[in-house]
Amino acid sequence: MRERLVARLSHPRNYVIRSACSCEGKGATMARILLVEDDAALARGIVALLKAAGYAADTAKNGEEALFLVDSEPFNLIILDIGLPDISGFDVLKRLRARGCKIPLLVLTARDHVTDRVKGLDLGADDYLLKPFDADELAARARALLRRDHGDPSPVVVIGNLMVDRVHASAEVCGRPLQLRPREWAVLDRLAAKAGEVITKERLISEVFSYDDAVGPNALEVHIARLRKKLEPDGPTIKTLRGLGYMLKAE
């Protein structure tokens, strides 16, 4: 079963999400995801799937590493395998919820017994997916959980003349499609999710870039500047509040 799943995730035709990555037809609600999986080959396949769908993804190979990362880094979604080498995924889930962690959590497992699924959900899992799984289904479940995490389950967000489609990772102003690069989409998606609120520079960077991404000192400012030009003249403005952060606001 493992070999079949790795093969499915390793083939681009199986893991590139249709209408889901960049705004060139392959996008998703941008977010930072933690994958907890001890099988290195399987983890690489899932990370490739997540990155093809436009997400920033980090990995942990065991439960203790996962608990450490959740305490030290901001994540929008956790994908957790149950069969880990040190402590079980159930124990990781139980500890996270006991600590007050409210990050949406999707359980991946080869265990198809109803009692296991019930146990995971009762411990605080938000969703459950059996291995082997279809790449499109994993991406769809991730999108649904992330929309919930952003505080609005609606796949479409409207801010003034700007319409943001989170399912297809597309945006338009007054019907004019915006040609956005993946990172530009990531920044716009996070700002749109909190329209009218201030988001700090540090939080934007932590949610848009993975832990191992090389981030220049002005990388975020470059993406913000490009977005401002593309939103002009009829779209909402991205305001810089010195010492505080950024805000997307309809005029």
Q: Which residue has the tokens 């690489």?
A: 44
- Cβ contact 178:162 at 8 Å: no
Q: For residue 132, name the pLDDT band (cuts at 50, 70, 90).
A: confident
Same fold, 2-149 and 156-249: no
When mean pLDDT is compared across 157-161, 214-218, 232-236, the lowest value belongs to 214-218
Could you state, in order of their start, the residue ranges of all structural domains in the chain? 2-149, 156-249
With vertex at residue 228, the alpha carbon angle to CA 191 and CA 76, rounded to the nearest 5 degrees, is 20
Q: What is the pLDDT of residue 65?
A: 96
What stretch of H or E contains 163?
Answer: strand 162-165
Q: What is the pLDDT of residue 234?
A: 93
For the four alpha carbons of 79, 85, 86 and 87, in that order, the dihedral sign comes to positive
Output the pTM of the full model: 0.63
Q: What is the pLDDT of residue 154?
A: 65
pLDDT at 22 over 60: no
184 token code pair: 């530009």
Q: What is the pLDDT of residue 30?
A: 63
Q: Does domain 2-149 have CATH number 3.30.1330.60?
A: no
As a whole number, mean pLDDT of residues 161-169 equals 86
> How confident is the model over 98-130, as pLDDT tens digits?
998 989 999 998 887 888 888 999 999 999 999
What stretch of H or E contains 210?
Answer: none
| CA gap 10, 42 in Å, rounded | 9
Laid out side by side, the sheet with 56-60 consists of 56-60, 32-36, 77-81, 105-109, 127-130
| CA gap 210, 185 in Å, rounded | 15
pLDDT at 8 over 60: no
CATH of 156-249, one of 3.90.226.10, 1.10.10.10, 3.40.190.10, 3.30.70.260: 1.10.10.10
- Within 100-246, where are the H helices? 114-123, 135-149, 182-193, 201-208, 219-231
Q: Which residues pair with 36 in a beta bridge?
A: 60, 80
What stretch of H or E contains 72?
Answer: helix 63-72
What stretch of H or E contains 62?
Answer: none
| Averaged pLDDT score across all residues of the chain | 83
| CA gap 200, 177 in Å, rounded | 27
